[in-house]
Structure 1
Amino acid sequence: MSEDLTARARIRDAAIKLFSERGIDGASIRDIAAEAGVSSGLLRHHFGSKEALRQACDEYARDRMFALGRELVDEVGLENISLASIQPVSFPLQTYMARSMMDGSETAVALFLQTVEYGAEWAKTHGVVTDDYRAWSAVIAVMKLGVFVLRDLLELALGEDIASPTGYARMTRAFVDIFSQPLLTPEQADNLRKD
């Protein structure tokens, strides 16, 4: 954790870490305060309650993920991205948002639905072949989130921690391999699309 973060930001980052690891119910105010290196009273001063802290974490993660997406796609360009540069920022947020969605956060669910809308629009403008852009985008989003939900099994199969730079890169390269080549022949795809 960076020493130059404000107490509020340290609390938020500690909450994101513990909520990701333990879920909302499993992370106490006392545990979060200890992780942030502050008192429970200071945490309550900044956020009031655990639910308000959760809302602040959801909003921060949502806003940071959208900003990161714009940075990577619009400003840097996918062709110029280094996995090593995005892993430390994106992995904790992706893990947190997946956990928050599982815990029923309205903000996280809204983020998922916004992501689906964005993906459907992207697919329409980038030549994706489908009769149902929303379904295409929703399935892709769930597939990508699934690696965080089933993280233990993925790590067991890979034999490494996907939170590590090498594990994250390996997982991401697998996604790239999957998304960059067809798995079906055109004839098989046409047959499977039939009602």
Structure 2
Amino acid sequence: MYLLTGIPAFELTNTFIDAEAIWGKEIRTVHEQMCNSDEVEAVIGLAEAFLNRLVKNSKFGLQGIDKVGAAILNQKRPLSIDTLASDSCLSSRQFLRRFVERTGVGPKLFDKVVRFERAFFMKNAHPHLDWLTIALACGYHDYQHLAKDYKYFTNMTPTGFYELDTKAPERTFGVVEVRQELVF
């Protein structure tokens, strides 16, 4: 969102901002076109066209810091802050400030969320796997490290949350995660 708006992510969190204040009257026109459309595909096409125009006309260029989030998402093991800062050609302090500006959270919390999500989806895609295998495949040191993150994010144990999740409505409708390859 920072690249599209120039507004730091932490300023957009838990606030209400009128879309017209950011994107002008064009957003109202697109919204009206979406409301007058009867087909889902047409609505999606309008949204995609609007977003493509925003990206094409963005005043903010992609910088090294913007590639770090993708690096964290694609890493199997945690990266050090110094390495990430060096890769983005910034000092550690500048890196931390700009990362929070673009994502709304610090890189350590972002990495923690990514690992947790990876473990969550892996267990759903491979229910036969034990938690230790999942923990090691997702970059955790051991099961207790994984359990600590589960407690932090869900206030439950991994097994307790998994059992609760298997009863979720989307599971009843057959929505499941795509199988992920195990990488150690």
Same fold by TM (over 0.5)?
Answer: no
| Pair member with larger Rg | 2
Q: TM-score, normalised by structure 2?
A: 0.30
Q: TM-score, normalised by structure 1?
A: 0.29
Q: Answer 1 or 2: which has greater helix percent.
A: 1
